[in-house]
Amino acid sequence: MVQGNMVRIVLALLALTAAGALRAQAVTAADGAALFQQHCASCHGGQVAKAPPVSLLQIMSASSILRAMEHGVMQEQAAGLTAEQRRLLAEHLTGQQLGDTVAVQPAPQCDAKLAAFDFDAPPDALGWGVSHDNRRYFSPGMAGLTADDLPALELKWAFAFPDAIRARSQPVTGGGALYVGSQNGTVYALEQTTGCIRWTFSTVAEVRTGIVLTPWQAGQAGNPLLFFGDLVGNVYAIEARSGKLVWRDRPDDHHSLTLTAAPVLYQGRLYVPMSSLEVTAAADPTYACCTFRGGVAVYDALTGSKQWVGYTIDEAPRVVGKNAVGTERIAPSGAPVWGTPSIDAKRGLMYVGTGENYSSPANDTSDAILALSLKDGSIVWRQQMTAGDAWNMGCETDEKINCPPENGPDYDFGAATILATTSDGKDLVLAGQKSGEVFGLDPDQEGKILWRRKLGRGGIQGGVHFGMAVDGDTLYVPMSDFDGGPRWPGVAKPGMYAVDIRTGKTLWYAPAETGICGEREFCQPGLSAAASAMEGAVIGGAMDGHLRAYSSKDGSILWDIDTAATVATLDGGKAHGGSIGGAAGAVLSGGMLYVNSGYGIYFHMPGNVLLAYGLPKAK
């Protein structure tokens, strides 16, 4: 009897404890919401131009927001809050518990020898697109590999990104180091062959852009810089040898500004493409949609002095009406640039692709290829592929209050433009759209369409999503075709395509393997990540986690590795790969192949690992 009473007492205590925990959680959530309304809403509710909106804060990590309040740009504003209040705010804004993330110990620090900067090892690539024309072709001299080497590649080391569910910053190599950004806002300098850490640099928010490194001649000493952007619109220049900040700026005052694409460094100037997350804020019927317009900001690379901004919409947005609940409608807006520009020095132009308009009426520079002057950013010519495309996240709500009457189809040009020259000597601007189409344009005839080919079905996540590659007369086109439904009719055709740039004719098509996902959640077969070309092959990362090398001759698979697996990492622990997505394609340098795995966003498999592959040591 006594034992039974004790059991009942214990159960009662457990019930009380559980109820108390639930009440504590409710109080915590309420406290976070109250703190936001009291201390943050007046700025982050859209009233202050430079303050990121809630929609942008919600996709940051809790630790990034906490770090901004304790050591970053929000330190002054958060000075009156206690440590516990700052923690509650970070958890409320992101929906994450700071204790939920698994602590990851840093990889080993480099010893003095491995930490030394090597001026005899200048960077192979000039930027994200490898060269200023964005062909993404790694020559045998750059790669140190050919297609015949690929089947022998083995994992040399794996680096775990702490506090991350995605890895989408394309690395760059130089000075004996590999430089890469991460979701928690840290930029790492890793020794290229071993992965040990030379130094780290902390930013305000996630670094999803590729990293750009100042070139130099072998043996030439100097102070090379790294350039990149973060999720809340800051562009940085830091020292490649030490990670010391040189300059930082926000190229536009718009509160929803974000930098998604790697900048371009050319003749001492840094060209920074500007995108926005205002398309998400428009889901709120009380949000006055929309005021952002895309563009490219240009800086003196050494000093950070902003030279000019070339906007994709000439006309400043103005009030054009009200929505159904009385909120102002503002237009024209949108036409973001979320791909790296290609540089045409001969014509004094750069070529960018634009996204949809955010509000109605749509204008003639959305879903277009624009030629902007390298002198002042003015629009020299425009070629619009999809007219009347106005769309925002209000179209995905039940009420559709802020949805423009056009309602999409949201056919951005997310993939970077490519400037290529055929074997006949003809220059072309190549472009791939989320509609699943690819285009060949004539730069000498104001972007006249020489050919266009519909390869995939298309959709919000592609179609052609983040980047193509060119080797000679062959254009490699990775196809996602993730979205279906009535807005994107037709049969999905994910996989890798090879297209003759002279005619637009399909040379071969390697369909994505559709039966390997099994029970994996958020696993899809399409190719979303940027492609990388090399001698004899093209490399594509898929949403099913596989990294594959396709023969340039016929598309047959030369090498296939499943990166969505658990691997031992340099910190002595383990990390897990996932979908391969975003603009972070495979990088080849000095006989090594590097790739990020993990794209835990938009219903894709999360992961947090950088993988380094190389050839076995000779016996």
3-state secondary structure of 88: helix
Residue 22 has pLDDT above 60, yes or no: no
Average pLDDT, the chain: 89
- Of 2-16, 151-165, 181-195, 292-306, the one with minimum mean pLDDT is 2-16
Domain 124-171+416-614 has CATH 2.40.128.630: yes
Share of the chain above pLDDT 90, in %: 72
Specify whether the CB–CB gap between 254 and 295 falls below 8 A.
no
* Sign of CA pseudo-dihedral 449, 451, 455, 457: positive
Which residue in 455, 448, 466, 362 sits closest to 409, CA to CA?
A: 362
Angstrom CA distances, 514 to 137, 489, 550, stand at 28, 19, 17
Amino acid code (one letter) for 517: C
Amino acid code (one letter) for 253: D
3-state secondary structure of 33: helix
Specify whether the CB–CB gap between 520 and 605 falls below 8 A.
yes
Half-sphere exposure of 600 (CA within 13 A, CB side): 19
What's the whole-number mean pLDDT along residues 39-62?
62
Name the pLDDT band for 239 (thresholds 50, 70, 90): very high
**Peptide bond between residue 523 and the one before it cis (omega within 30 degrees of 0):** no
Quote the crossing angle between the two packed helices 2-39 and 83-94, to the nearest 10°.
Answer: 90
Q: What is the pLDDT at residue 165?
A: 84
Residue 5 has pLDDT above 50, yes or no: no
Name the pLDDT band for 604 (thresholds 50, 70, 90): confident
Amino acid code (one letter) for 111: D
**Where do we find the tokens 């010893």?**
111
pTM: 0.88
Q: CB-based burial of residue 364 (10 Å sphere; 0-12 exposed, 13-18 middle, 19+ buried)?
A: middle
Q: Are strands 245-249 and 235-239 parallel, antiparallel or unpaired?
A: antiparallel
- Of 221-225, 295-299, 387-391, 520-524, the one with minimum mean pLDDT is 520-524
Q: What does the pLDDT look like over 96-135, one tens digit per residue?
A: 787 655 445 578 999 999 999 999 999 999 999 999 999 9
User: Which 3-state string (H, E, C) describes 186-246?
Assistant: EEEEEECCCCCEEEEEECCCCCCCCCEECCCCCCCCCCCEEEEECCCCCEEEEECCCCCEE
Q: What does the pLDDT look like over 130-167, one tens digit per residue?
A: 999 999 999 999 999 999 999 999 999 999 998 888 89
Q: What is the pLDDT at residue 39?
A: 81
Residue 349 has pLDDT above 80, yes or no: yes
Q: Domain 262-400's class? A: mainly beta
Which secondary-structure segment (H or E) carries 548? strand 546-551
Which secondary-structure segment (H or E) carries 168? none
Residue 13 has pLDDT above 60, yes or no: no
Residue 8 has pLDDT above 80, yes or no: no
Exposed e or buried b for every residue in 159-168, given b needs 16+ CB within 10 A? bbbbbbbbbb
Domain extents for the chain? 2-39+62-94, 124-171+416-614, 262-400
Q: What does the pLDDT look like over 414-470, one tens digit per residue?
A: 999 999 999 999 999 999 999 999 999 999 999 999 999 999 999 888 899 999 999
Angstrom CA distances, 44 to 41, 55, 90, 256, stand at 5, 9, 14, 10
**How far is residue 217's CA from residue 175's CA, in Å, rounded to a whole number?**
11
Q: Distance of alpha carbon 7 from its chain centroid, rounded? A: 55
